[in-house]
Structure 1
Amino acid sequence: MADRKQAPAPETTTRVTADWSGLDISGQTHEKVMFVDLDMTEVENSGAVFSDCTFRNVKFNVSAHDGAAFVNCTFAGCKFYDARFSDCKFVGSRFNRCNFDAMKVIGGNWSLVGMAGADLRAASFQGVRMREADLTNARCQGSSLRDVDLSGAWLHGADFVECDLRGSDLSAFTPDREQLRGAIITIDQTITLAQALGLDVRAD
């Protein structure tokens, strides 16, 4: 399967460069803003909404986001060290050259995100909707994607060696294309993978 072609980033109308470290940005709304070299270290964010925004070289380190939305946004060269996103919405957003070390995502909707080639080895996702996400060539070795809805996801060339995939929807996986050696799955998930290989699975 060829890599998915991402739509061009939305045009922005405002540019912001600032130090937001340690601030509470809950409830803020931003649309078509380009954030450049913004420091969001230890930011507290409950319910803020960012739509059609671009984040370039922004630090999200040790920040906490709850019920926030980053819809159709572009993240380039951003750092998400130990950032936590709970029940957040990232639908249609795309990531390029970002660092996700120790990032934790719990719940929320990350459908249609573009994370091709992303290094997610030190990130964890739990109970997240990632339908039709582009994870082509993503590096997920040893990471955790538990109870994640990956239906319709683009996974060609992705590496899930020793990844914890328990409870996740594996219907988009083709075991002859993705690297799955040592991945942790449940008995029920083995049936899904066997059927993807064209095996005729029977009860007896």
Structure 2
Amino acid sequence: MARRTTGGSGGGSGPGRARAAQTGAGVKAARRPAVRLPPLEPYEGCGLEPDGDYDGLEFREADFAGQDGGGARFMDCALTGCALDEARLRHARVLDSVLTGIRGVGTDLSESTLRDVELVDARLGGTQLHGSVLERVLIRGGKIDYLNLRTARLRDVVFQGCVLVEPDFGGARLERVEFVDCTLKGADLTAATLTDVDLRGAASLEIARGVDRLAGAVISPVQLMDLAPVLAAEMGIRVEG
């Protein structure tokens, strides 16, 4: 099983307490995954299987386009450079794993569980994660277009250095979520619930819908000025010269 450490708010000193202090007293820091994979065996199968059980495996440059891995479990795995176009992974469980350079359009991960996962330099479009649970997940680098996270639950999730084009958080619950040096374009927060969500580090913040759901989030003064027209429109305020 992968060993991992996470920052916390308990006693003592260390990176966890230092990071919590850096985020400020008004917002709790997300606990990041620190996945240390055991020695892995190369995957020698010919494809994914529904309800498959994959433990301690390395998937490298595998083409899973159009395959059905619904209900599969990935534990202590590394997926590198894999193609997931139209792959069906509904109800999948991805645990203690690292996904690097994966790519795909229309990947279905709806109602899945991602826990202690690092997603690095992904190139994805139209990924379905609605109704999913993400806990201690780091999404670093890459670009994800039209990410569907409607009604999902995100706890201790960090988006870092990535580009999110029109992500849909409609009806989702976000707790201890951080956006660091990332770009959000046309985000939809309709009916979302935010708790300890830190948006101050976002390089660009554009909210298309649901700006009224920002209660529970922290933004910077500059971001407040950028959002002023949207906030004024939401409150019915006319701004004229």
TM range (shorter): 0.7 to 0.9
Equivalent in 142, 152, 177 of residue 143 of structure 1: 177
- Distance in 2 between residues matched to 1:89 and 1:114, nearest whole Å: 15
Per-residue CA distance 1:45-92 (angstroms, 9 max, x = gap)? 211111111103322101101111142111133221101101112211
Per-residue CA distance 1:163-192 (angstroms, 9 max, x = gap)? 1112323322567521324x2222211211
Equivalent in 180, 195, 198 of residue 164 of structure 1: 198
Does residue 195 in structure 1 map to residue 224 in structure 2? Answer: no
Are the counterparts in 1 of residues 129 and 148 from structure 2 also a CA contact under 8 Å?
yes
What is the correspondence of 1:51-200 to structure 2 with a 5 Å cutoff? Answer: 51-168=85-202, 169-172=204-207, 177-181=212-216, 183-198=217-232
Equivalent in 36, 39, 49 of residue 16 of structure 1: 49
Output the aligned Cα RMSD.
Answer: 2.4
Are the counterparts in 2 of residues 161 and 179 from structure 1 also a CA contact under 8 Å?
no
Q: Describe the SS at the equivalent of 2:206.
A: coil
Question: What TM-score, normalized to structure 2?
Answer: 0.70
- Distance in 1 between residues matched to 2:163 and 2:113, nearest whole Å: 22
Are the counterparts in 2 of residues 19 and 39 from structure 1 also a CA contact under 8 Å?
yes
Are the counterparts in 2 of residues 81 and 100 from structure 1 also a CA contact under 8 Å?
yes
Counterpart residue identity of residue 177, structure 1: D
Are the counterparts in 2 of residues 137 and 156 from structure 1 also a CA contact under 8 Å?
yes
Q: Describe the SS at the equivalent of 1:60.
A: strand
Structure 1 residue 44, shift from structure 2 partner: 1.0
1 or 2, which has the higher strand percentage? 2
Are the counterparts in 1 of residues 189 and 211 from structure 2 also a CA contact under 8 Å?
no
Structure 1 residue 32, shift from structure 2 partner: 0.9
1 or 2, which has the higher helix percentage? 2
- Distance in 1 between residues matched to 2:148 and 2:80, nearest whole Å: 24
Structure 1 residue 194, shift from structure 2 partner: 2.1
Are the counterparts in 2 of residues 77 and 98 from structure 1 also a CA contact under 8 Å?
yes
Counterpart residue identity of residue 81, structure 2: G
Are the counterparts in 2 of residues 113 and 130 from structure 1 also a CA contact under 8 Å?
yes
- Distance in 2 between residues matched to 1:23 and 1:161, nearest whole Å: 36
Q: Percent identity?
A: 22
